[in-house]
Amino acid sequence: MNQAVYLQTSQHSSMSFKQLLNLYRLEAKFEWLKTIRNPAFALPAILFPALFYVFFGVVMNQDNIQAASYLLCTYGTFGVMGPALFSFGAGLAVERGQGWLDIKEASPMPGSAQIVSRVLVSMGFSVLILLTLGLVAGLLAGVTLSVGQSVMLSVILILGGLPFCLLGLTLGLLLKAESAPAVVNVIYLPISFLSGLWIPITMLPSFLQSFAQFLPPYHLAQLALKVTGQDVGGRVWMHIAVLALFSVTFFATSLWAFNKK
Amino acid sequence: MQQHAVESISPTSSIISVNHLTKSFAETKALNDLCLDITSNRVLAILGANGAGKTTLINILLGRLQADSGDVSVFSSKAGNQEVKRQTGAMLQVANLPETLKIKEHIQLFQSYYPNPMPYEKVIEYAGLAELQNRYSKKLSGGEKQRLLFALSICGNPKLLFLDEPSVGMDVESRQSLWRAIRDLKSQGTSIVLTTHYLQEADALADEIVLLKQGKVIKRGTSEQIKASVSSTTIRFHSQQPSEVFNALEGAVQVSSNGKYTQIQTHQVNQTLKALLNQYADIEDLTVSSAGLEDAFLQLNDDNSGELQ
């Protein structure tokens, strides 16, 4: 009588391709709604890069279109890093602290759905950030990029957010909810400055210019500056290789952090 | 499809089997050589004081924690395996949900995680959330939040449902409707493992109760069996006498005073009562009651013999 209950046949425990697709779609959709409905996150993420750009690229830099287009590339880099680091880093740490991730972990949600949806949301924010920056650059700073250049720049920056998503993921898994936003800022702001995102890298002292080689935002900004021909002349494949290396490293650290907790 | 699945489970088949499970955190043993077999189509309540090992056990059964030694199988598979998770629901204690999603959105999302989700209307009805579907989770009270977590735990039409302190923060009405839902799910073929601090809840719902202490099962049985295992009866009355004098009565095990009432615990009700009424004339408001689940719980838990079973 005491027979064990085995798993039900596959039709009860496996998901069709269509069901899985729907799962990822809804996860991404609700991750997006959850984030965009939080004005304390969404407004600064979208408006800060544009605001900084208005100060440094428009107001303080009168009529120098070269400088304005340079700063468009670097503030674009600065902009896409924000949601990547914060949505993953701070957002994940908060949900983890609340015990909400425990519920998700106990459910059959694939872990990758959580990661894919957050990457897509970061990319969605990148699009909004680049649109506002583009508008400011075009209307107020008089920057003129061809359609091809605009598309190229957008693609580079949107895809280039990936290593920062993975860095954010590591931080989100390691940090406590209360301290996460502060720690993320302590990383985000200095590496942005040291990578030449706020003032051009060539204006930094030479030892800082050498140090910038070790920072991922520097390489993303250099790739972006290739589009306007204003980079310092590094090779494209080298920048891509460094960013890929950082992505792999941060992915490994996030796996380590996940298993550690 | 659903019919077929239910029929294939015979009433006494085993769903969870736990053998010689041990788990320590630092120096403390949370679970100590624990053995437990859980059969289908029943409500099992796991009781125990804080630190008895309830949460550790549930986390191991969900595959979220690895045991140090011993083995666990759920549906004859590894706990926490994806196929097992698709047939399992879990309501855990959560401080807060993501605030900017509506109740219906949370439910729709969790439904998408399962191959055969429970229809939306049914989830809403079981959890009593019909009025709150468009409410953001930011604006939920403690009890409403619990109802949402319950809804999420049943979204997948689980064959096995874990409920960790489900009725915390619920008002009487919500609790009653939660109990109705649990009974109904059981009658549909769901096995339920419940932990609770409300002994009344275990008494009302559980087919079987397991008492944990220091990571071991110290008692297992139906609510009636557990109450009966504590054989003492309480005689309560009002008297002018100081309570110490009643210690001398035949059969009295323990005497205590509680406000204006004196209580005598006894194993021989007839003798004690007879002696009491013969010797003292001023006894008023006399009641005799057998031990409730709470008395049994306290007494079993106080017994120092951890090896009771």
**pLDDT given for residue B6 in this prediction:** 42
For residues B46 and B195, the answer to whether their CB atoms sit within 8 Å is yes
Residue of B nearest to A34 (CA): B100
Confidence check: pLDDT of A173 > 80: yes
Does A37 reside within a domain? yes
Does A10 reside within a domain? no
Q: Do A99 and B92 touch (CB under 8 A)?
A: yes
Confidence check: pLDDT of B13 > 90: no
B115 close to A (CB below 8 A): yes
**CA–CA distance, A201 with B118 (Å, rounded to integer):** 57
To the nearest whole angstrom, how far is the Cα of A128 from the nearest Cα of chain B?
Answer: 20
Range of the domain at A30: 17-260
Does A252 reside within a domain? yes
Neighbour order of strands in the sheet with B69-74: B28-39, B14-25, B69-74, B77-78
**In whole numbers, what is the pLDDT of chain B averaged over residues?**
86
A2, A12, A100 member nearest B116 (Cβ) = A12
Does A178 reside within a domain? yes
A5, A6, A105 member nearest B64 (Cβ) = A105
Residue A31 structure tokens: 């991750």
* Residue owning tokens 């009653």: B176
**pLDDT given for residue B4 in this prediction:** 43
Q: Judged by CB atoms within 8 Å, which residues 29-68 of B form the interface with A?
A: 39-40, 62, 64
What 3-state class would DSSP assign to B14? strand
Query: What band does A235 get if pLDDT is binned at 50, 70 and 90?
Result: very high
Does A11 reside within a domain? no
Note the pLDDT tens digit of each residue in A176-224.
988 998 999 999 999 999 999 988 898 999 999 999 999 999 999 999 9
**CA–CA distance, B234 with B265 (Å, rounded to integer):** 5
| Residue A253 burial (CB count, 10 A) | 17
Give me the half-sphere count of Cα atoms (radius 13 Å) on the Cβ side of residue B261.
11
Does A177 reside within a domain? yes
pTM of the model: 0.84
**pLDDT given for residue B306 in this prediction:** 41
Q: What ipTM goes with this model? A: 0.87
Size of interface A-B (CB pairs under 8 A): 125
Does A12 reside within a domain? no
| Residue A126 burial (CB count, 10 A) | 24
Query: What band does B252 get if pLDDT is binned at 50, 70 and 90?
Result: confident
Total tally of structural domains belonging to chain A: 1
* Residue owning tokens 């077929």: B4
A185-189, A255-259, B102-106: segment of lowest average pLDDT: A255-259
Query: What band does B307 get if pLDDT is binned at 50, 70 and 90?
Result: very low
Does A6 reside within a domain? no
| Partners of B256 in beta bridges | B263
Note the pLDDT tens digit of each residue in B141-175.
999 999 999 999 999 999 999 999 998 889 999 99
Q: Do A108 and B114 touch (CB under 8 A)?
A: yes
A206 close to B (CB below 8 A): no
B76, B100, B105 member nearest A38 (Cβ) = B100
Q: Do A7 and B76 touch (CB under 8 A)?
A: yes
